[in-house]
Structure 1
């Protein structure tokens, strides 16, 4: 079926389509939890946290390996900040992203970003 309405906007999902940030989130978590003095060799005892919100990941770690002196909210904020730093350092664009964005620009399309990440991540990435 042909559509007569012109496409005006392309919306891209950030993680998994534009960038592969999961390894960077894991690295950020390990960096921050390590800085709290946690024994990272025990991380295999925790359930898989892939795709979980960071506040839930932090809560899970705290329940398994409690720390002192830093709130769960502060740890979450540190992990988010570290993940953003890693995205900026590594720029993990997936294959074809640059070409897809250039095509959208050449067609004068508006480009949107969809993501489950917090706005602070999206605004800076």
Structure 2
């Protein structure tokens, strides 16, 4: 792994290097945030509850258990967390089986990172079954590490997912560039000490220290990500 990092030649005058790139999945690489919301609306409609639009801003980017727990509490639906999780995952998988659109610039970015042997991780709050299906579209070969939300005791917005991904890649979190689309994911990455580029999807994200906000992945390439570490952005 060390040889791959050196091959990137991202050293600046003070020795700072981009050691790894950590990427969120839903809403960042694949255009699926709407799929999750549609599944949630459909499941709760079958339970006799209409979801208001303001619920979407609460659940976007969060782990399944947190989102489902919130929706059960908000609607008063007569269903257990375990039962609704099964229904939501099934509804989502049914939708992605019809085809998964990648976000603009996602394929190019993944191809560039792979070509330069940049250690890359997929860090998602989605469950492993969903990630494994999505990797058919994203290309499993593009990631050295993949982490699912149901494989951790604490997922986003806690720092655990990004800390673990960096550790598995042998990288210093401070020298990892993270690409995220939600406030929940951004909070997780920043709590881990990573440099963050935010590509807002459903909920706006403001600029902040250590964070760069862009309009789409079409603005992000390897040179851009190097700049997050060397202080060019």
Q: Check whether TM > 0.5.
A: yes
Count, aligned residues: 120
Q: 1:66 to 1:106 in 2, by over 3 A?
A: closer
Q: Identify the match of residue 116 of structure 2 among 97, 101, 107.
A: 107
Q: 1:3 to 1:103 in 2, by over 3 A?
A: farther
Q: 1:101 to 1:3 in 2, by over 3 A?
A: farther
Question: Does the CA contact (< 8 Å) of 2:64 and 2:125 recur in 1?
Answer: no
Q: Deviations over 1:75-115 (max 9, x none)?
A: 11220222233234241311111111222333344542112
Unaligned runs of 5+ in 2: 1-11, 135-233
Question: Does the CA contact (< 8 Å) of 1:12 and 1:114 recur in 2?
Answer: yes
1:13 aligned onto 2:42? no
Q: Identify the match of residue 54 of structure 1 among 64, 81, 84.
A: 64
Q: Deviations over 1:16-54 (max 9, x none)?
A: 321232211101111222233x132xx228743323332
Cα distance between partner residues in 1 of 2:97 and 2:46: 21
- RMSD value over aligned CA atoms? 3.0
Q: Deviations over 1:39-72 (max 9, x none)?
A: 32xx2287433233322333333332323xx532
Question: TM-score normalised to the size of structure 1?
Answer: 0.70
Q: Which has the higher contact order (CA 8 A, sep 6+)?
A: 1
Question: TM-score normalised to the size of structure 2?
Answer: 0.42
Unaligned runs of 5+ in 1: none
